[in-house]
Amino acid sequence: MKLNKYNYIFLFAALSLIIVAVAAQARTERHYRTTAAKHINITVDSIDFRNDVTRMYAKLCGNPHTSQRIDEAMLRIGTASFQARDIDGVDFKRWFQWEEDGIIPVEIDFRPMTPFNNAKLELVTPRGTDITEIKTSK
């Protein structure tokens, strides 16, 4: 059998198709886990102690294009605990999604309190409870 240029083109196309089909069978891992997949990572920037409110400025950090929900926030100082009154940037008990940079600035409001050195911020989510220690840098 004599091969002409059309046979070579056909063989090249068939071989290319086989290579593409094999490459498309790349393995996809399910149940891939990072810290942000189960809990919320939060970085506290500052806390404003005022007469009418204690406002915590923070950033939620997560994987871009993933979703999460915060059901409640609690600040624990020693044996005392303070329920959050409001949160800006996301809403309590509503799902939100991280955008391209994976960072959402938030403001969490608590009742007025005196400045503290050490505390724990507890965020309750459907995926579990995340506890972040807050310490002054002094």
Distance of CA 108 to the CA centre of its chain: 17
- Interatomic CA distance for residues 78 and 82, integer angstroms: 11
State how far the Cα of 129 lies from the Cα of 138, in Å rounded to an integer: 28
CATH fold for the domain made of 35-135: Immunoglobulin-like (2.60.40)
User: Tens digits of per-residue pLDDT, 48-76?
Assistant: 888 899 998 888 988 888 899 999 999 99
Q: Model-level pTM?
A: 0.69
Phi then psi for residue 125, to 5 deg, are: -130, 165
Closest residue by Cα to residue 61 from 34, 29, 91: 34
Per-residue pLDDT, 136: 74
| Residue 18 amino acid letter | I
Dist CA 75 CA 29 (whole Å): 37
Q: Where are the domains of the chain?
A: 35-135
pLDDT reported for residue 104 = 94
Query: Within the chain, what is the greatest distance between any pair of CA atoms?
Result: 94
Token couple for 41: 């990572």
